[in-house]
């Protein structure tokens, strides 16, 4: 552990002035380029250009077909469990550092066991609710 005795860090709003100028310049440049391209760019609206692009396939029916909620549910569950797995990474990286202090090692191990327990309870709940069944 490093003790910081004589190091003092004082930041003022003047330290952030270059960042503010850069953000203002970037936003102004983007706004100018959009306005300039709209002003100078070609404006030819023909009947062919205003038609819906169908890639050569004749359109039929309504485009608003109901889609099964299962696709969205599986995607959300994947993201949820994927993000939970990311929380294991710091533990795995710092595992050797915990070996020096045996009490710290066991405290972190119990914390990870609690996390895995909560993870498994959520997973069992999802299975019991039938969220991953595709028979519909």
Condensed to tens digits (0 to 9), the pLDDT of residues 67-118 reads 777 888 888 888 888 888 888 888 777 776 666 667 777 888 888 889 889 8
Tens digits of residue pLDDT in 37-47:
999 988 888 88
129 within 8 A of 70, measured Cβ to Cβ? no
Q: Could you tell me if 99 and 50 are in contact, meaning their C-beta atoms sit under 8 angstroms apart?
A: no
Q: Taking the chain, what is the end-to-end CA distance rounded to the nearest angstrom?
A: 58
Place of tokens 């070609």: 42
Of 98, 124, 121, nearest to 109 (Cα)? 98
Contacts of 10 (CB under 8 A, 6+ apart): none
Furthest C-alpha separation in the chain:
76
Whole-prediction pTM: 0.44
Distance CA 72, CA 134 (A): 13
């Amino acid at each position: 552990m490093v003790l910081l005795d004589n190091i003092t860090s004082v930041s003022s709003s003047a330290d952030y002035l270059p960042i503010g100028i850069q953000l203002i310049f970037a936003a102004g440049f983007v706004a100018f380029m959009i306005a300039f391209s709209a002003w100078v760019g070609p404006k030819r609206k023909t009947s062919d250009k205003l038609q819906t692009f169908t890639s050569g396939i004749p359109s039929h029916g309504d485009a608003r077909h109901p889609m099964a909620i299962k696709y969205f549910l599986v995607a959300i569950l994947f993201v949820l469990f994927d993000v939970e797995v990311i929380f294991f990474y710091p533990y795995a990286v710092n595992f050797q550092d915990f070996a020096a202090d045996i009490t710290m090692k066991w405290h972190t191990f119990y914390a990870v066991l609690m996390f895995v327990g909560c993870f498994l309870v959520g997973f069992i709940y999802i299975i019991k609710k039938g969220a991953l069944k595709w028979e519909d």
